[in-house]
Structure 1
């Protein structure tokens, strides 16, 4: 996946595409990364080959660096995503262009000559149970260890936010808190979100409908706490859910 940002080429060696069934519609998400930079494209009523306008409720984002709240340039009206070929569970190709505005200001960037060719064949990633695990949890009673980090940023108007991402093979734990104020208890989904991804398939993601995140310590560049939540499948046609309990973390904390 690649594209030019104000004429400067960004080639993303890591790219993925997934479809999700949300009600009667199919949503397509395409992500490409090079380090902390990359592109994210979303088509909210995906019907295969064709051209989709950003102005029709779709989305395109260019991420300059690793802080989504300050380094993101999102298109809301100007741009298109074109799917030139699509073979389910095999391959998707296409092009894109858009004009994105910084989420924390008025600066804009123009994305041109965007293109992608992405395999849709699932790739299995190895699971780990190593000494690097710094987030531990039980999912439906099964203990799993993850390795991750926490990022806290202050954004004008939005205020403080906290993001936690932890990984084990294809599995992910994501916690996010808006209006973050340090040590304390935050209620999901009122104060933020919790998510568990058992794999990278369209039906493998679960988002919290209730739960809590408790921050017990924020000192010396470390963040400690506990969490729990119940999460139904993000695919509303699948009536499954997971229960996440006994979550604990002791993570490096990066402030932006």
Structure 2
């Protein structure tokens, strides 16, 4: 058990630690030791492998939350492991209710893991993927508006249309923020393409405060779809312009 779970502050602190040695269970593990203990297994052929890892905490009586949140039943060691697992991952998959209850924030780049992620061919931080059937999400939160790596929202075909529209608005806001930071950019979002299982999602600027969204089948050729959307915007873009509204009235 000590190989998997760092000891708590109740354990006597280490008197010495030999660099590169196996954790001996006496005292708090370093982040490097945690990363080594939780490293993904190497494949037999040396090629890339896909791994799915689950992590949770529970009380002695089996409860996984208190007042809807897991944080109150987590200790400092739990949080260190949780942070390490996030830092090693490509994507952090989380349910919508957890996002709502825990106030989920985007993953950040951590200098302690920067070298390991670069060596593994990973970006500076993992993406967060939110699973939601209803899309009852607050797209004004930092998780959607200011992540280092764009947040992914996974939903089904039965998702409410108004929530899909809100998701599109979140994508547009994020893309606009990214465009403003890119050198040589006018600061305006022109086109966003997201590849999903079974197809592609397109979001294109179509006039002042208006955007055209298209969900295409996997057989669609992305470049051709982009061209068709641009042609459509040229023809009808002026009619799609939406003036800003205040108090329910156009201004």
- Length-normalised TM-score, structure 2: 0.25
Structure whose residues are more often helix by fraction: 2
Larger Cα-atom Rg: 2
**RCO higher in structure (CA 8 A, sep ≥6):** 1
Structure whose residues are more often strand by fraction: 1
